[in-house]
Amino acid sequence: MVLGTRRFKKMKNKNKKIKLLPYKREDVLTIQDAAQKAGWEITAFNLPKAWEFTQGEGVTVAVLDTGADLEHEDLIINLLPGKNFVNLKASPQDDNGHGSHVTGIICASNNEIGVVGVAPKTKVIPVKVLDKNGTGNLQNVADGIIWATDQKVDFITMSLGSPNPIPVIHEAIKYAESKGVIVFCAAGNAGKTHQIFYPANYKETIGIGAIDENFNRANFSCTGDDLDFLAPGVKILSTVPTNWYAVLSGTSMANPFVVGMASLLLSFKRKNNLNIKLETSEDYREQLKKYTTQIPDNNFSGKKFFEGFGIIDPRKMQEWIKNN
């Protein structure tokens, strides 16, 4: 294995911490209240039209976060056995809420209760690498990436970060890439004066920033030359423990939206045996570029620095699907 071959190196990384990217909790809802509120990101992009072609069947995502609500009515059908790296003797049950929210954005089932995810038939493996405070150590995150990769997942998503490079996590990401596992990361919520955080800043990952309901870049979303795409990340309704729902804002919410889109794309490719190459992060970057739209107010220099290649737009993918 490329990582942690020496005990002293592992112990050093065990003592170094990483945290969730800060995010904002807007509201908490019951299952009945949630059912009355369709997520704006679902309706704005007319995702139900895409579901006529694929709902993400046959795709597996590892969510490296605070775990998942394992008994949530909107998640349980799409959850596969996961692992807890914070406490190896425990299940990956979410004791924070963030991981469940991310999971719901990807795969909350289309069951006429609560909410629905971008890819409502994609499967998720919850990998708990962060504790109830949203903090974890670097070695656990790296081990989680390697373990998830060895489960032969298609994608890994992480919404944690640091302003500084994280070599042990970078090496784990390289391992994932070498095995054909694509890693998506939230860009960070420190605003336009800050470069996107690591690991989103690595070329082997796909870094995602956030937009609001008006399709403008969220003012908290980090910028940088390695920013790849923008996606809905303001006032996003999704699942939290225990059988509740919450409205959160952050690039943490935008990132799983793009993972859901990638799941729809990969599922459609497999179902129809399409001859498109989707093996590396660069392959996905090039393919997803085809389904983007620009933010309304993009009259500024260094456009790529602020919005990446643009807003991921499922409506454009729907048009592509129709033609294939």
- Domain borders along the chain are 14-322
Sign of the torsion formed by the C-alpha atoms of 129, 135, 139 and 141: positive
Closest to 126 (Cα-Cα) out of 177, 199, 185, 65 = 65
| pLDDT score for 36 | 45
| pLDDT score for 294 | 85
- C-alpha–C-alpha distance, residues 139 and 143, integer Å: 6
Closest to 260 (Cα-Cα) out of 310, 205, 202, 317 = 317
Q: Report CA-CA distances (Å) from 166 to 10, 73, 173, 199.
A: 14, 36, 11, 7
Q: Bigger pLDDT: 95 or 20?
A: 95
Catalytic one of 221, 238, 252, 281: 252
Task: Assign 39 a pLDDT band (cuts: 50, 70, 90).
Answer: confident
- C-alpha–C-alpha distance, residues 288 and 285, integer Å: 5
Please say if the pLDDT value at position 133 is more than 60.
Answer: yes
Catalytic one of 65, 69, 94, 154: 65
Closest to 264 (Cα-Cα) out of 190, 197, 316 = 316
Please say if the pLDDT value at position 16 is more than 80.
Answer: no
Q: Look up 65 and say whether it is catalytic.
A: yes
* Helices 251-272 & 314-322 angle (0-180, nearest 10): 10
**In a 3-state reduction of DSSP, which class is residue 119?**
coil
179: amino acid identity, one letter: K
| pLDDT score for 32 | 47
Instruction: Count the neighbouring beta carbons within 10 Å of the beta carbon of residue 118.
Output: 32
CB 180, CB 11: distance < 8 Å: no
| pLDDT score for 23 | 54
299: amino acid identity, one letter: N
Q: Look up 281 and say whether it is catalytic.
A: no
Q: Look up 252 and say whether it is catalytic.
A: yes
* Rounded to 5°, angle at Cα 313 from 23 and 258: 45
Beta pairing partners, 240: 244
Model pTM above 0.85: yes
- C-alpha–C-alpha distance, residues 167 and 238, integer Å: 32
| pLDDT score for 321 | 82
| pLDDT score for 307 | 85
Q: Which of 40-49, 93-102, 274-283 has the lowest mean pLDDT?
A: 40-49
Q: What is the pLDDT of residues 245-285, one digit of tens each?
A: 999 999 999 999 999 999 999 999 999 999 999 999 999 99
Class of domain 14-322 as given by CATH: alpha beta
Torsion of CA 313, 153, 245, 253, to 10 degrees: -40
The fraction of the chain above a pLDDT of 70, given in percent, is: 87
Q: Which of 11-25, 94-108, 283-297 has the lowest mean pLDDT?
A: 11-25
Instruction: Count the neighbouring beta carbons within 10 Å of the beta carbon of residue 108.
Output: 31
CB 187, CB 224: distance < 8 Å: yes
| pLDDT score for 224 | 87
Please say if the pLDDT value at position 236 is more than 90.
Answer: yes
Q: What are phi and psi of 303, to 5 degrees?
A: -55, -45
Please say if the pLDDT value at position 293 is more than 70.
Answer: yes
Q: Report CA-CA distances (Å) from 15 to 38, 134, 139, 157, 176.
A: 42, 16, 8, 23, 23
Helices and strands in the chain: count of H runs, count of E runs: 11, 15
**In a 3-state reduction of DSSP, which class is residue 87?**
coil
Q: What is the pLDDT of residues 158-197, one digit of tens each?
A: 999 999 999 999 999 999 999 999 999 999 998 876 789 9
- C-alpha–C-alpha distance, residues 92 and 108, integer Å: 18
Catalytic one of 69, 72, 74, 98: 98
